[in-house]
């Protein structure tokens, strides 16, 4: 027993040093460049403690001196910032038509970015295309796979960490356990899989309307339907990873292809996705209703049939958003996706919410573009990478 107690006592100073280092890393990462005095003020640590911890993480190659702050009384203060080359993160977005990706350093600077049209005929071919894209991105960034600290793939579907399964991938068709095994074989131990809409919500929190907002819902309506939910500043996945799968809200399934789609991807998805808008336009006799974009364009030109289809779509989306409001009461709703970002759609949804919802939070349209999922994957990867580095400091 004495040996155990002694070992614990000996380990305590090392743990405290590692915690101090993590605190400084977090401040430098989020607010740098910073001086020793500024770090002491932000962290509440003494200046000698800051100097010791800063020297340790500088020797480890995680931060470096980047210049001096002048203009105030006394000697110029040396500033410290993250050393970008200490590691890299790879973010990949898997879509039905496009594969997108980017590589960033630990300072958050994108070193390479690429989008390619997928020609894959099956799931395994798509895995290979994704691996090829990753190799191209690494080559353009001038780094090797060994320098990657984290790889994040944004994909439709739900990853359940308890069961280690990827399901509900819809049109991508990645539900087979063999796909997950193939992805791990290609990308190794650094792989993390994030739902694509959840990744978009992370991007919104870092780069969009969600900055500084503690609770918001990112609702994506387009080819598919989903939601990313941020509560108390954290993305919420739920116990089984299905938090935000609002495509399965039990709206009317209809008949024929609507019912078949509902069984595959959920009732709300079947009722309000882009394919559903096209079907509604055709049923209403709208000519040229080959895409949802054309239906919305016809409504914008004053076509009364198309306008009725768009109005019904706005009502469906408002009902889903109203459900979210009554369950979690977020500060903000952000609409994304091809339909969610369509001109005039925000106003139509808000008009319905005024009638349906008990309260009306702020509602905005996302201003982020086609690289939103990649940006979210990079944000998630950077957080994970810094956690890995901090954990390594605690155990080394």
Mean pLDDT by 10 residues, the chain (396 residues): 45 78 84 85 88 86 78 72 90 94 94 94 92 97 94 92 84 87 92 95 96 96 94 92 91 57 77 93 92 95 96 96 96 96 96 97 95 96 83 58
The CATH code of domain 211-367 reads: 3.30.420.40
Range list for CATH 3.30.420.40 in the chain? 86-200+373-395, 211-367
Range list for CATH 1.10.10.10 in the chain? 2-82
Q: What is the pLDDT of residue 4?
A: 40
Q: Which of 206, 240, 163, 200 is nearest to 335 (CA)?
A: 200
Distance CA 128, CA 183 (A): 9
Q: What is the pLDDT of residue 5?
A: 45
Alpha helices in the chain (DSSP H): 2-31, 36-43, 47-59, 123-141, 177-187, 196-207, 257-265, 267-272, 274-283, 292-300, 304-328, 337-340, 345-356, 372-395
Q: What is the DSSP letter of 119?
A: -
The secondary structure element, H or E, covering residue 365 is: strand 362-365
Distance CA 142, CA 159 (A): 31
Under 8 Å between Cβ of 359 and 329: yes
Token output for 95: 């879509």
CATH match for 86-200+373-395 among 3.40.50.720, 3.40.50.300, 3.40.50.1700, 3.30.420.40: 3.30.420.40
Q: Does domain 2-82 have CATH number 3.40.50.300?
A: no
Distance CA 140, CA 118 (A): 20
User: 10 Å Cβ neighbour count for 41?
Assistant: 14
Token output for 201: 């919500």
Instruction: Please state the φ and ψ torsions of residue 360, each to the nearest 5 degrees.
Output: -120, 105
DSSP states along 32-97: -SEEHHHHHHHH---HHHHHHHHHHHHHTTSEEEEEEE-SSSSSPEEEEEE-GGG-EEEEEEE-SS
Distance CA 280, CA 309 (A): 7
Distance CA 143, CA 308 (A): 53
Q: What is the reported pTM?
A: 0.86
């Amino acid at each position: 027993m004495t040996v155990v107690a002694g070992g614990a006592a000996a380990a305590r100073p090392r743990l405290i040093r590692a915690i101090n280092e993590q605190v400084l890393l977090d401040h430098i990462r989020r607010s740098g460049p910073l001086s020793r005095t500024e770090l002491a003020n932000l962290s509440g640590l003494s200046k000698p403690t800051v100097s010791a911890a800063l020297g340790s993480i500088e020797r480890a190659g995680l931060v470096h001196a980047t210049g001096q702050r002048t203009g105030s009384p006394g000697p110029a203060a040396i500033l410290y910032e993250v050393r970008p080359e200490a590691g890299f993160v790879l973010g990949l977005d898997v879509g039905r038509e496009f594969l997108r990706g980017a590589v960033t350093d630990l300072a958050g600077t994108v070193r390479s970015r690429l989008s390619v049209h997928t020609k894959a005929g099956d799931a395994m071919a798509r895995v290979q295309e994704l691996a090829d894209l990753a190799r191209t991105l690494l080559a353009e960034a001038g780094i090797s796979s060994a320098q990657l600290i984290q790889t994040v793939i944004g994909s439709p579907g739900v990853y359940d960490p308890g069961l280690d399964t990827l399901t509900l991938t819809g049109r991508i068709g990645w539900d087979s356990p063999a796909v997950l095994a193939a992805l791990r074989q290609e990308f190794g131990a650094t792989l993390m899989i994030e739902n694509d809409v959840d990744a978009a919500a992370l991007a919104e929190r870092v780069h969009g309307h969600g900055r500084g907002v503690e609770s918001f819902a990112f609702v994506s309506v387009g080819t598919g339907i989903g939601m990313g939910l941020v509560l108390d500043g954290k993305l919420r996945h739920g116990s089984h990873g299905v938090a935000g799968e609002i495509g399965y809200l039990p709206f009317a399934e209809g008949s024929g292809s609507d019912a078949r789609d509902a069984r595959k991807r959920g009732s709300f998805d079947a009722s309000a996705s882009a394919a559903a808008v096209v079907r509604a336009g055709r049923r209403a006799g709208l000519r040229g209703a080959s895409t949802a974009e054309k239906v919305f364009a016809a409504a914008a030109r004053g076509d009364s049939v198309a306008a009725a289809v768009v109005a019904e779509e706005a009502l469906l989306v408002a009902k889903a958003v109203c459900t979210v409001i009554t369950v979690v009461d977020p500060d903000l709703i952000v609409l994304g996706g091809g339909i969610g970002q369509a001109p005039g759609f925000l106003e139509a949804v808000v008009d319905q919410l005024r009638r349906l919802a008990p309260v009306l939070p702020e509602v905005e349209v996302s201003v982020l573009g086609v690289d939103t999922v990649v940006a979210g994957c990079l944000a998630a990867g950077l957080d994970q990478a810094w956690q890995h580095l901090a954990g390594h400091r605690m155990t080394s």
